[in-house]
Amino acid sequence: MKIPLTAALIGSLFTHAANAAGVKPRSDVQKTLYAAGADVAERILSEFQLGSEEVPFMLQGLQDRLEGKKLPVLIPDYRGKIRQLVLDRQEAVRMRFLNEAAARPGAQRSESGLIYKELKAGSGPKPSATSQVKVHYHGTFPDGKVFDSSVQRGEPATFPLNGVISCWTEGVQKMSVGTKAELICPYSIAYGVQGRGSIPPKSTLVFEVELLDIVK
């Protein structure tokens, strides 16, 4: 998750955007600034998940801040609440995605939170938690953005099941050789609250996995 934007930055950019309605960027600098504004708007939409009834309050705060009016709240007093609001909204988005995924026909949700859905049945043996397996996989975030994919690399991966995230250890054991399945992993059985590399903290991960072989 990205660091929430400061109230001052949000206010400045959004109020300028409102006052500049209809202005079309022409120079490279203007286009760069326009792109920066669009990027900020995308972040706000992503982080705050605003409802239509909430937008007027944010817009009023933006306008009042830029115009230098006396504010009815002290911004430093609310920074912690702003961060918590973003965290709460992000958690709600995560839970909605997981609940909808678990409700699909054929999906199974285990006690750990893993959501398993078989896409193609296999007929071979099943691995154990200590098996070394050969798989093809395609990993995305809930929005469809790819973060890792042996399929795109064109080369299967081989690894021990007890050396990967627990979502995989549990999920791949449900598969027979030849099976293709979708594994949806809550952050608690993926990379946790810290994240890892290009995977942000508290990320829900979606994998399409095909078990090609049990190496040993």
List pLDDT tens digits, range 108-162: 999 999 999 999 999 999 999 999 999 999 999 999 999 999 999 999 999 999 9
* Range with lowest mean pLDDT among 10-19, 63-72, 160-169, 171-180: 10-19
**Mean of pLDDT values over 85-105:** 94
Q: Active site includes 147?
A: yes
**Mean of pLDDT values over 35-53:** 81
Q: Which residues of the chain are in CATH 3.10.50.40 domains?
A: 108-214
> Residues 6 or more apart from 137 whose CB is under 8 A from it?
148, 149, 150, 151, 157, 207, 208, 209, 210
For residue range 4-26, list pLDDT tens digits in order: 444 555 555 555 555 555 678 88
Q: What does the chain come to in residues?
A: 216
By percentage, how much of the chain surpasses pLDDT 90? 67
* pTM, to two decimals: 0.75
Query: Which of 44-58, 71-85, 169-183 has the highest average model confidence (pLDDT)?
Result: 169-183
CA angle at residue 42 from 41 to 45, to 5 degrees? Answer: 85
Distance separating alpha carbons of residues 165 and 198, to the nearest angstrom:
15
**Cβ neighbours, 10 Å, residue 73:** 10
Mean pLDDT across the chain, nearest whole number?
A: 88
Q: Cα–Cα distances in Å, from 209 out to 35, 133, 182?
A: 37, 11, 6
Catalytic residue, from 48, 116, 187, 207: name it: 207
Position 101 confidence tier, pLDDT thresholds 50, 70, 90: very high
Distance separating alpha carbons of residues 149 and 169, to the nearest angstrom:
18
Distance separating alpha carbons of residues 190 and 114, to the nearest angstrom:
10
| Selection from 187, 202, 189, 207 nearest residue 147 by Cα | 207
Q: Active site includes 116?
A: no
> How high is the pLDDT of residue 10?
53
Catalytic residue, from 34, 141, 148, 213: name it: 148
Given a cut of 70, is residue 45 above it in pLDDT? Answer: yes
At which residue do the structure tokens 């395609």 appear?
A: 138
> How high is the pLDDT of residue 166?
97
* Range with lowest mean pLDDT among 62-76, 108-122, 161-175, 184-198: 62-76
Distance separating alpha carbons of residues 215 and 213, to the nearest angstrom:
6
Catalytic residue, from 75, 82, 141, 165: name it: 165
Given a cut of 80, is residue 170 above it in pLDDT? Answer: yes
- Annotation: CATH topology of 108-214: Chitinase A; domain 3 (3.10.50)
Catalytic residue, from 137, 184, 189, 199: name it: 137
Q: Active site includes 191?
A: yes
> How high is the pLDDT of residue 37?
78
Distance separating alpha carbons of residues 182 and 116, to the nearest angstrom:
6
